[in-house]
Amino acid sequence: MNHILECNNVQVKKIISFYRNDQKESKNETVLFFAKSDFFSATIYKSNKVMFQGKDALEEYNMWCIMFGINPIKKVKKTEVKKSTSNYYSQSIGSDEVGTGDFFGPVVVCAAYLTGQDIEFVKGLKIDDSKKITDQRIRVIGQQLKDRVQYSMLALHNKKFNDMTQKGYNMNKLKAYLHNSAILQLVKKIKNKPLVIVDQFAEEKLYFNYLKDEGEIYRDITFTTKAESKYASVAVASIIARYAFLQYFDNLSDKSGYDLLKGAGKKVDLQVAQIIEEKGEKFLYSISKTNFRTLDKAKEILSGK
């Protein structure tokens, strides 16, 4: 079935930017832009009408409806019934972090508050499998969520991260500190104490032990693994945190003069070796997590030359 959206020039530009990596050639002279994936196609006509076709056409159409403040087409699927009858859309605060597996860039933690008024909006974004959402889509959805939900976010930049790890802080202790701070800030902001869920990265007892020297600790927390697939509030927090991380990462690449790579692995090892050779090891202190094994591997690469 075809789904057609009538857009203005600004909206068309946003859609083109979003699907630019899937652009394909069209011989139709009335077509301004054409994109196609394995599951849908998006055809933008010079009249500014956008037609979605394919298996996931309705999902894509509804996503843009929500983005542009248009009522989406309601269609209940089995998976949606399952989510709605569970606790997935519970009114709650979810807290999640990103950047802990990336050699370059900060650690970002976000606590997000999902209210009853936000549920239909979030359902329309199809974020129930947030870990599989591409960076390209995160850049669009993340901005929409930031403008809609209440949240608190903290970013631990590389220099501060390295200073703290040299003082004996490990990654989990840093994450506990960031989660605690983000949750406390958000609870004070909303002046309410709903259910709070944290994507579990340590045993509950150990989490609170990390915080034993903190002056204020938020304790009424539900810890669960893979929380982003169990609670929409955690998925929202994850997406906002990833959105912010991508922005920080882009700025870091610009300032460093390198097209920095995400994650860790052989390609990152080689890039780090190149940076050390060209800029020196000290240059990494403000753009990377120097306690990662990546740094040692890069040095080994250089010593083998």
56 pLDDT more than 70: yes
Tens digits of residue pLDDT in 66-75: 778 887 776 5
Pick the CATH number of 3-75 from 3.30.70.250, 3.30.310.10, 3.10.580.10, 1.10.10.10: 3.30.310.10
Cβ neighbours of residue 130 closer than 8 Å, sequence gap 6 or more: 228, 229, 235, 238, 239
Dihedral angle sign, alpha carbons of residues 226, 227, 233, 237: negative
Predicted confidence band at 86 (pLDDT cuts at 50, 70, 90)? low
Asked if the domains 3-75 and 84-252 are classified in one and the same CATH topology, the answer is no
137 pLDDT more than 90: no
User: What span, in angstroms and rounded, lies between the C-alpha atoms of 238 and 132?
Assistant: 11
Say if CB 106 and CB 288 are below 8 A apart. no
Residue ranges covered by each domain of the chain = 3-75, 84-252, 259-303
Tens digits of residue pLDDT in 217-269: 999 999 999 899 899 999 999 999 999 999 999 999 999 999 999 999 999 99
Residue 108: name the closest of 95, 94, 127 by CA. Answer: 95
At 2, give phi and psi (nearest 5°): -90, 140
Mean pLDDT of 89-103: 95
77 pLDDT more than 60: no
User: What span, in angstroms and rounded, lies between the C-alpha atoms of 178 and 174?
Assistant: 6
CATH homologous superfamily of domain 84-252? Answer: Ribonuclease H-like superfamily/Ribonuclease H (3.30.420.10)
Q: Which pLDDT belongs to residue 82?
A: 41
Structure token pair of residue 200 = 């579990």
> Is the model more confident about 190 or about 87?
190
Run of H or E residues at 150: strand 150-156
Q: Which pLDDT belongs to residue 61?
A: 87
